[in-house]
């Protein structure tokens, strides 16, 4: 399903996506600034002295488990909550104390919150009518929005006469109709099934690019955040743990928490042996006779206890030892196999009793695979596959 984006704009999108990085530009002025924001509900601290800058045209994702404060952070921008301390500015204007109906942000709610007694058309026109826009302009804008979300034929329907996916589109059209400075999306795709969700993610990205708007999305689904966002902020207990581009979050997590929360990961405890520029040598606790070399600058000192984060898809499982002696290698025994169709996940037990997961793409059409339960195998990975985590 495309979103009516022409081929020409699609071509320019690629160029914009490749070069878009205002967060690296010291001259860039952020559109949204959270400055030392704290929000308490009685004793509970939902957001803890948090500062964050979000730039214009950015697709920004707040990612974290439920109760981490991500929704509160968004609701403070919409005006449904006021911060206990700190300042929030939008385009240079202090927002604290401004009621939601006077803010230039619009929100798409998790429950969609479509007005059940109004038709699709009236739902989309609602915000425009509040602005006392003239009739002709309202009609034109609603038509445009219906076209954008491909619901022209459903204008007269009531929300309960629509399917879940259609309701989601109406909610999106309604929140976009006023052309807000920032669109807030609160778990927007949570109620859709997996296939529809994936399609809609790409549609959201296209719409965001086409309209050139700033989107802020709240989600607990890391795949969703990785797919749609320019930058992701991983949150835990009211604080930001890491804010960066999806690939950096995934490949260079800054802590066990991020490595564990985003994607599948093996975390191996290890002790630092030597530290050189661009290379760390470690002694894994699970296989003390082995030495792992990780290509990374590291602040740790020899003797420190650290963790190595290894993504399953970056580990290889073979019956024969690797030919290249430069790779890190450890022997183990197959504990369990998960066949997923495209991949098989091998659970390998290392001598110390620690189990690691390694993913292997199933490249050939074979029902009987060469590696099976209780086989002695070699698990290996190159020095640039793992990350040393000091926190």
Partner 1 sequence: MRKGLSWFNVTSIALGFAFLYIPIVLLVIYSFNASRMVTVWAGFSTHWYWQLFQNQQLLDAAWVTLRVAFLTATVATVLGTLAAITLTRYGRFTGRTLFSGMVYAPLVMPEVITGLSLLLLFVAVDIDRGFWTITLAHITFTMCFVSVVVQSRLVTFDRSLEEAALDLGCTPFRTFFVITLPIILPAVISGWMLAFTLSLDDLVIASFTTGPGATTLPMRIYSQVRLGVTPEINAACTILIAIVTVVVIVVSIMTKRQELERQRAERLAAAG
Residue 113 or 337 with smaller CB distance to partner 1: 113
Would you put residue 115 in left (φ > 0), alpha (ψ -120 to 50) or beta? beta
Give the one residue of 13, 91, 96, 113 binding partner 1; rule: CB under 8 A.
113
Between CA 31 and CA 341 the distance in angstroms is 44
Give the one residue of 39, 70, 174, 357 binding partner 1; rule: CB under 8 A.
174
Q: What b/e sequence results for 341-366 when a residue is b if at least 16 CB atoms lie within 10 Å of its CB, and e otherwise? A: eeebbbbbbbeeebebbbbbeeeeee
Least distance in angstroms from the C-beta of 141 to partner 1: 13
Q: Kindly give the residue spans of alpha helices, DSSP state H, lying in the chain.
A: 7-19, 70-78, 120-130, 135-148, 164-176, 194-211, 222-228, 246-251, 256-261
161 contributes a contact to partner 1 by CB under 8 A = yes
Residue 15 or 99 with smaller CB distance to partner 1: 99
190 contributes a contact to partner 1 by CB under 8 A = no
Give the one residue of 9, 130, 372, 391 binding partner 1; rule: CB under 8 A.
130
178 contributes a contact to partner 1 by CB under 8 A = yes
Residue 107 or 280 with smaller CB distance to partner 1: 107
Residue 113 or 155 with smaller CB distance to partner 1: 113
| Site of tokens 């070699």 | 378
Residue 84 or 110 with smaller CB distance to partner 1: 110
44-83: which residues touch partner 1 (CB under 8 A)?
78-80
DSSP string, 327-348: SEEEEEEEEEEEE-SSEEEEEE
Residue 182 or 228 with smaller CB distance to partner 1: 182
| Site of tokens 């939008």 | 90
Asked whether the beta carbons of 83 and 76 are under 8 A apart, the reply is: yes
Between CA 229 and CA 209 the distance in angstroms is 12
Residue 213 or 315 with smaller CB distance to partner 1: 213
Structure-token pair, residue 313: 């898809």
Other CB atoms within 10 A of residue 7 CB: 7
Least distance in angstroms from the C-beta of 106 to partner 1: 6
Other CB atoms within 10 A of residue 223 CB: 15
Asked whether the beta carbons of 150 and 200 are under 8 A apart, the reply is: no
**Helices 135-148 and 120-130: angle between axes, nearest 10 degrees:** 130
131 contributes a contact to partner 1 by CB under 8 A = yes
Query: Which range of residues in 173-181, 250-258, 266-274, 339-347 is near partner 1 by CB under 8 A?
Result: 173-181
Least distance in angstroms from the C-beta of 177 to partner 1: 8
Between CA 205 and CA 228 the distance in angstroms is 6
Query: Which range of residues in 49-57, 139-147, 158-166, 251-259 is near partner 1 by CB under 8 A?
Result: 158-166
Give the one residue of 15, 116, 303, 361 binding partner 1; rule: CB under 8 A.
116
Least distance in angstroms from the C-beta of 113 to partner 1: 4
Least distance in angstroms from the C-beta of 166 to partner 1: 8
Give the one residue of 111, 274, 362, 391 binding partner 1; rule: CB under 8 A.
111
160 contributes a contact to partner 1 by CB under 8 A = yes
Give the one residue of 158, 283, 290, 314 binding partner 1; rule: CB under 8 A.
158
**Cα end-to-end distance, the chain, whole Å:** 43
162 contributes a contact to partner 1 by CB under 8 A = yes
CA distances 323 to 320, 328, 342, Å, are: 9, 11, 26
Binding site for partner 1 (CB under 8 A): 78-80, 99-102, 105-107, 109-111, 113, 115-117, 126-127, 130-131, 157-158, 160-163, 166, 174-175, 178
């Amino acid at each position: 399903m495309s979103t009516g984006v022409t081929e020409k704009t699609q071509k320019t999108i690629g160029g914009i996506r490749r070069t878009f990085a205002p967060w690296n530009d010291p001259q860039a002025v952020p559109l949204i600034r959270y400055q030392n924001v704290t929000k308490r509900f009685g004793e509970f601290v939902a957001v803890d002295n948090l500062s964050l800058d979000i730039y214009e045209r950015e697709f920004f994702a707040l990612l974290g488990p439920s109760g981490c404060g991500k929704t509160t952070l968004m609701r403070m921008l919409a005006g449904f909550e006021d911060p206990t301390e700190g300042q929030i500015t939008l385009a240079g204007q202090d927002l604290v104390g401004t009621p939601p109906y006077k803010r230039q942000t619009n929100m798409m709610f998790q429950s969609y919150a479509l007005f059940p007694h109004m038709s699709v058309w009236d739902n989309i026109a609602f915000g425009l009518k509040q602005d006392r826009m003239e009739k002709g302009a309202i009609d034109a804008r609603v038509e445009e929005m219906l076209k954008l979300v491909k619901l022209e034929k459903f204008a007269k329907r009531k929300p309960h006469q629509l399917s879940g996916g259609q309701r989601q589109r109406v909610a999106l059209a309604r929140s976009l109709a006023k052309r807000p400075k920032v669109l807030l999306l609160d778990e927007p795709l949570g109620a859709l099934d997996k296939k529809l969700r994936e399609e809609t993610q790409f549609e959201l990205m296209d719409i965001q690019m086409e309209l050139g708007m700033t989107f802020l999305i709240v989600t607990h689904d890391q795949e969703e955040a990785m797919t749609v966002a320019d930058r992701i902020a991983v949150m835990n207990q009211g604080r930001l743990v890491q804010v960066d581009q999806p690939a950096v979050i995934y490949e260079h997590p800054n802590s066990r928490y991020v490595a564990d929360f985003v994607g599948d990961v093996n975390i191996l405890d290890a002790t630092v042996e030597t530290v050189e520029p661009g290379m760390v040598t470690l002694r894994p606790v699970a296989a003390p006779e082995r030495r792992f070399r990780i290509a990374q600058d590291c602040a740790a000192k020899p003797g420190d206890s650290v963790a190595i984060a290894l993504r399953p898809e970056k580990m290889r499982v073979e019956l024969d030892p690797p030919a290249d002696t430069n790779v890190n290698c450890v022997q183990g025994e197959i504990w369990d196999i998960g066949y997923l169709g495209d991949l098989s996940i091998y659970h390998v037990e290392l001598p110390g009793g620690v189990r690691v997961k390694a993913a292997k793409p199933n490249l050939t059409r074979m029902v009987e695979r060469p590696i099976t339960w209780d086989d002695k195998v070699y698990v290996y990975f190159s020095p640039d596959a793992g990350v040393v985590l000091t926190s």
